[in-house]
């Protein structure tokens, strides 16, 4: 059982060890849906939702089921995540068809988003309790949203600038991400 304070967990997951920019988790949506701020923001919110659900189910699995069979951890986590994503997909489709179309393939791909499985595994490795896990999930989700929105606003503003032909596309996105990541290194000494 970890005795880290909730505030330090939250802050560390959100900025100091930002999931995307410092730990390279969830890069696919980061590259894929970061072309528009609004889509990025919504993707981030969908992520927070799934992360919170995952954190609670991972805690439940760890406490009540996996005690006796730790080698089933990866398999059971991924099944839980796959079903959660399926539920969220159905909910989004029903509640907001527009958002469903905007997120496109990246919504079902959330199953294979490393941020979600990563959260469950880190939470287990660090021995977080229920509240700590929830805080971790919200912090990590806000961190992902922050990274997505920052990236999307930079990409929106460089969209019409005259970059060399070879840098168009992923190369440019990666270099911007590198610069953002450098900026986030500034938070490193805070905790």
Partner 1 sequence: MRTTSPTQDFVRGIWKENPVLIQMLGLCPALAVTNSVANALAMSAATFFVMSCSSVLISTCKRFIPHEVRISSYILVIATFVTLADMLLQAYAPVQHKELGAFIALIVVNCMILGRQETFSSKNNPFRSLLDAFGTGIGFTIALVMMGGFREIFGVGAFLGVPLFGPNFEPWVIMVLPAGGFLTLGFILLAMGYFEQRKKTKAEQKAEATS
Question: Which residues contact partner 1 by CB under 8 A?
Answer: 21-28, 31, 71-75, 78-79, 82, 109, 111-114, 116-118, 121-122, 125, 165-175, 177-179, 181-182, 185
Nearer to partner 1 by Cβ, of 28 and 45: the residue is 28
Nearer to partner 1 by Cβ, of 6 and 82: the residue is 82
Cα of 143 vs its chain's centroid, Å: 7
Q: How far is the CB of 65 from partner 1 (least distance, A)?
A: 16
Q: How far is the CB of 20 from partner 1 (least distance, A)?
A: 10
Nearer to partner 1 by Cβ, of 96 and 190: the residue is 190
Longest dimension (CA), the chain: 59
Using CA atoms, how far residue 79 sits from 49, 140, 189, in Å, is 17, 21, 37
Q: Which residues contact 100 (CB under 8 A, 6 or more apart)?
A: 89, 92, 93, 107
Nearer to partner 1 by Cβ, of 95 and 105: the residue is 105
Q: How far is the CB of 98 from partner 1 (least distance, A)?
A: 25
Within the chain, strands assigned E span none
The number of beta carbons lying within 10 Å of the beta carbon of residue 152 is 22
Q: How far is the CB of 43 from partner 1 (least distance, A)?
A: 16
């Amino acid at each position: 059982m970890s005795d880290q304070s909730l505030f330090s967990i939250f802050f560390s997951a959100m900025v100091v060890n930002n999931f995307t920019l410092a730990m390279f988790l969830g890069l696919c949506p980061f590259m894929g849906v970061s072309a528009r701020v609004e889509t990025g923001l919504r993707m981030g919110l969908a992520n927070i939702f799934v992360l919170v659900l995952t954190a609670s189910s991972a805690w439940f699995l760890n406490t009540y089921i996996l005690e006796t069979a730790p080698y089933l951890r990866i398999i059971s986590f991924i099944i839980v995540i796959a079903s959660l994503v399926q539920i969220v997909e159905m909910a989004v489709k029903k509640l907001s068809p527009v958002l469903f179309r905007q997120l496109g393939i990246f919504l079902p791909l959330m199953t294979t988003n490393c941020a979600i499985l990563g959260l469950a595994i880190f939470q287990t490795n660090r021995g977080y309790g229920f509240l700590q896990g929830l805080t971790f999930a919200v912090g990590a989700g806000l961190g992902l949203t922050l990274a997505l929105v920052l990236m999307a606003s930079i990409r929106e503003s460089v969209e019409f600038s005259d970059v060399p032909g070879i840098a168009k596309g992923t190369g440019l996105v990666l270099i911007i991400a590198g610069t953002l990541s450098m900026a986030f290194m500034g938070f490193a000494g805070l905790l």
